[in-house]
Chain A
């Protein structure tokens, strides 16, 4: 190997290391690219009235009161592109839940009216197939790859 080969080798290793570093820093920012948010909620929701307890300590946050159906199918790519944190308030079977979107981190359930708080402790999800489940509230939040509508797109491959 000539001297220039060694320089090239070192350069390539540095390029790979640099790429790893960049991926580490910014890679998570668009992990959610192309994913779609799915929110499943119970048919019967609790009457409003648990807000006060759930919303404690959320002063100064712009809460959007919405429904699971309105959030369902929301494009994560678009949320990331907007680049700002969002807080949504929805109704579950037991009471209010607060969903939180943070650019670069994903979706979490910030607060929930339920005894065990499993959903809150699940933390952020940001990869395809991950989900947050709140059993008492019968709410499932998950990230999915979008389904193609056409039947043709539904098959993986055709072997002849």
Chain B
């Protein structure tokens, strides 16, 4: 549950910002859905929406970020018409597992947002692969793991530096001071 203020409500400002984050991540998620088969396997995606997850992890509390991630996956599934199809489960498990590992990595202040993104990108690919192997009932798909791990490095750097720039810009505007804890 999001944090509530004294009146038992989510502050309007935070609500708007969270909604904005959901919208942004949906946009990125939809864009990466349009990129066809960059990977040898259909359903495996880049994880561009992880940019928003990283930004949110630095601006909001963890449970609020979880809500953003879950809403993003469900809403994109509904809009793209892939709700409850294999593609939905694959991207959902990738998003959730990358969120969990990034939330864990975030607790170590020695990692910057780039390091957190690298962890997230690797977890994103591993999570997707786990769901693919579950859906296909075969462990053979893990032969793609080396390629996916290698892919996670440039993708993690891309999302990491994007998130870093975005966080810096947002902090410069003084936005994060206005978010109530």
Binding site for B on A (CB under 8 A): 1-5, 8-9, 12-13, 15-16, 19-20, 22-23, 27, 30, 33-34
Tell which of B111, B138, B156, B157 touches A4, judged by Cβ atoms closer than 8 Å: B111
Contacts of A33 in B (CB 8 A): 138-140
A8-B118 contact, Cβ under 8 Å, with A23-B143, A34-B140: yes
Residues of B within 8 A of A4 (CB): 108, 110-112, 115
Tell me, rounded to whole Å, the shortest Cβ–Cβ distance linking B149 to chain A. Answer: 4
On chain A, the residues within 8 Å of B140 by CB distance are 30, 33-34
CA distance A97 to B123 in the complex (A): 50
Q: Which residue of A lies closest to B121 (CB)?
A: A12
Whole-angstrom distance between the Cβ of B108 and the nearest chain A Cβ: 8
Known: A4-B111, A5-B118. A15 touches B149 (CB 8 A): yes
Point out the residues of chain B lying under 8 angstroms from A2, CB to CB: 110-112, 114-115
Is B146 at the interface (CB under 8 A from chain A)?
A: yes
Q: Determine if A19 and B111 form an interchain contact, defined as CB atoms under 8 angstroms apart.
A: no
Given that A23-B143, A34-B140 are contacting pairs, would A16 and B114 also be in contact in the complex, using a CB cutoff of 8 Å? no
Which of B110, B138, B149 contacts A34, CB < 8 Å?
Answer: B138
User: Does B57 count as interface, using CB distance less than 8 angstroms?
Assistant: no
In the bound complex, residues from chain A placing their C-beta under 8 Å from that of B138 are 33-34
B54 at the A/B interface (Cβ < 8 Å)? no
